[in-house]
Amino acid sequence: MILIVAEHAGGKLGKATLEMVTAAREAGREGPITLLVLGQDVAAVATEAAAVADQVLVGDLPALAQYNPEVWAAAVAQIAREGEANTVLIGGSRSGREYAPRVAVKLDAPYLEDATKLSVNGNALQAQRYTYLARVTETVEAEGPVIVVTVKPGSFAPAAPASAAGEQYDIELDLPTPRTEITGKSVEKTSRVALTEADVIVTGGRGVGSPENFAQYVEGLADNIGAGVGATRAVVDAGWRPYAEQVGQTGKTVQPKAYIALGVSGAVQHLSGMGKSKNIIAINKDAEAPIFKVADYGIVGDVNQIVPALIAASKK
Amino acid sequence: MKILTLVRQVPDAEARIKINGQSVDLEGTTLVIDGMDEYGVEEALRLREGGANVEEIVALAVGPKKVEDALRTALAMGVDRAIHVETNERYDAVALSRIVAQVAGAEGSDLILLGGQEADWDSQALGAASAERLGWPQLTWTNELSADGDTLTGRHDVDDGNEGFKVALPAVVTAQQGLNEPRYPTLPNIMKAKKKELRKDEPSTYSVQPSVKYVNAEIQTRARLNKMIDGKDPQAAAEQLLDLLRNEAKVLA
């Protein structure tokens, strides 16, 4: 079987799960597409999952209320073994890429990380992935009775529902006790769409000038067009914006339909996080800024003059 | 505690990447210690300077001869000694974690520090795979760390925010931006580092095989429109851009 670990939050199936279903269908490995739903009170998620999978395995347990890499790795490896999975697909989220290597080690399986394309090559599974700060596309392949893969968010189209809903089965899990105690959590609340899910992102760099300008222009434009808000490392380091908004090598990787960069110079580390966006729009007063080299649409000009005009015009 | 820091050597972020045949060719490229691993080395030093009972800090690198330079940087920053498994073989993270686990075992390490993501592989797997091989817990994307006896406390980033944690050693911790500001090695320390032990290990000692085959590499090129709009009249520029986004790119309603 092809085992996909469902990503979900707030009682809803994540877009990443639907993308993984497409990845599994495209990869062409044999066996039923099986979604594994782990968590507590996940009945609604399981029902959503059943619409796109041949079968759904549900681990609905208090012990799974909170994500922990050791617990998740144990659960996934157990089900992969019992179900004789030939492929295990895990979302390329921060948590997915955190526990997937543990699953690979537990199963003594090769690990293809953050795949953007998957295909079968004889007995091997072949994957494309980005390397060298996303400047290189590498093709890698692995063979084995089972292969663990994480799928890069935004790389595959979300799957449409299958013709018939898959059966749901409750599973029993033998879980370890987490050794890490969580002593507090701050959840980044935003009324805006999450960066990794957003179709349009407006990002501000140092060229925006000040935290006040950032709020006025970057957030102002984002709210006007229903976009997510991103920031460069320089802006985060300066304390203007929270780390949660940082896009780039040390922040989030995004692939929206449109990435609007305001006062962003375009350092390699930033490009590695947003360079795969379908359309890149840059506004910067420095005509030599590297961001223009990767832009589809560029305006050389002052953000403080052009963005207010943009906000006004986008209201019409 | 005994700390093992993992060090990789990667192209400088500004360096141009070339492809030769089917793979990335680093000949002539400026190589540096991976910035994220540097946070790990710095944190090991800070734990000791902050009064934690740190018996020894050892840096480990696996890679070709020139990786010595990255280890010398770590030694000059202040680690006590270094181990270099010299090899031209390209190991994936899951294979490499076998070497890490064996070295950690032989060294009696109880804390492994490394970067959250390697800038050459764009991979986050080495810390987690090493932790699993050793049967240790892991804390990834850590931006705050302190040690009290054999208990580590700190904060790290997770999918939907940031968590405080507490964990007993042994453990694997991956570092990131914000954890600290790595020091520059001073000239006296660079001189001192030359006298520190840099042990060479044969890869055959660890009998490890890559589990992933590298088939091809291509420089990412994506044709961009590079359509420039005159910004002299902000009003006109804004309207022209909106028109293009709505009607040409079709990304706005």
Q: Give the tens place of pLDDT for each residue, B42-96.
A: 999 999 999 999 999 999 999 999 999 999 999 999 999 999 999 999 999 999 9
Is there a contact between B224 and A296 if contact means CB atoms under 8 Å apart? yes
If pLDDT is split at 50, 70 and 90, which confidence band does B123 have? very high
pLDDT-derived band at B223 (thresholds 50, 70, 90) equals confident
Distance CA A222, CA A200 (A): 8
Residue B193 to residue A286: CA distance in whole angstroms:
43
Residue A158, C-beta contacts closer than 8 angstroms, at least 6 positions apart: A15, A18, A19, A21, A22
Distance CA B219, CA B169 (A): 42
Of A181, A250, A300, the CB nearest to B176: A250
Lookup: tokens for A32: 């039923």
Radius of gyration of chain B (CA): 22
> How far apart are alpha carbons B223 and B242 in whole angstroms?
21
Task: Give the pLDDT confidence score for residue A23 in this predicted structure.
Answer: 97
- Residue A251: predicted pLDDT: 83
- CB of B228 within 8 Å of a chain A CB? The answer is yes
**Confidence at residue A249, expressed as pLDDT on a 0 to 100 scale:** 83
8-state DSSP, B244: I
Name, in order, each residue with C-beta under 8 angstroms of A162's C-beta and a sequence gap of 6 or more. A51, A52, A53, A54
Residues from chain A that touch B37, judged by Cβ atoms under 8 A, are: none
| pLDDT at res. A316 | 62
Q: Report the DSSP beta bridge partners of residue A247.
A: A252
pLDDT tens track, chain A, 316 positions? 999 999 999 999 999 999 999 999 999 899 999 999 999 999 999 999 999 999 999 999 999 999 999 999 999 999 999 999 999 999 999 999 999 999 999 999 999 999 999 999 988 999 999 999 889 999 999 999 999 999 998 899 999 988 788 999 999 999 999 999 999 988 876 678 888 888 999 999 999 999 999 999 999 999 999 999 999 999 998 999 988 899 998 888 898 999 999 999 999 999 999 998 999 999 999 999 999 999 999 999 999 999 999 999 887 6
At B144 the pLDDT is 95
**Amino acid symbol at A73:** A
Q: How far apart are CA B225 and CA B235, in angstroms?
A: 22
Q: Do A180 and B218 touch (CB under 8 A)?
A: no
Interchain pair A309, B153: CB under 8 A: no
Shortest Cα distance from B82 to chain A (angstroms)?
Answer: 26
**Sole residue written with tokens 């990255």:** B70
Residue B220: which of A135, A188, A292 has the nearest Cβ?
Answer: A135
pTM: 0.93
What span, in angstroms and rounded, lies between the C-alpha atoms of B14 and A73? Answer: 37
pLDDT category of residue B10 using cuts at 50, 70 and 90: very high
Sign of CA dihedral A263, A266, A267, A272: positive
Instruction: Quickly state the pLDDT bin for B236 (edges 50, 70, 90).
Output: very high
Q: Do residues A25 and A158 touch, judged by C-beta distance below 8 A?
A: no
Q: For residue A314, what pLDDT is reported?
A: 85
Nearest C-alpha in A relative to B36: A250
The pLDDT, as a whole number, for residue B222 is 78
What's the confidence (pLDDT) of residue A280?
Answer: 96
Phi and psi angles of residue A76, each rounded to the nearest 5 degrees, phi first: -65, -45
State residue B93's pLDDT score: 96
Per-residue pLDDT at B228:
94
Q: How far is B245 from chain A (nearest CA, A)?
A: 9
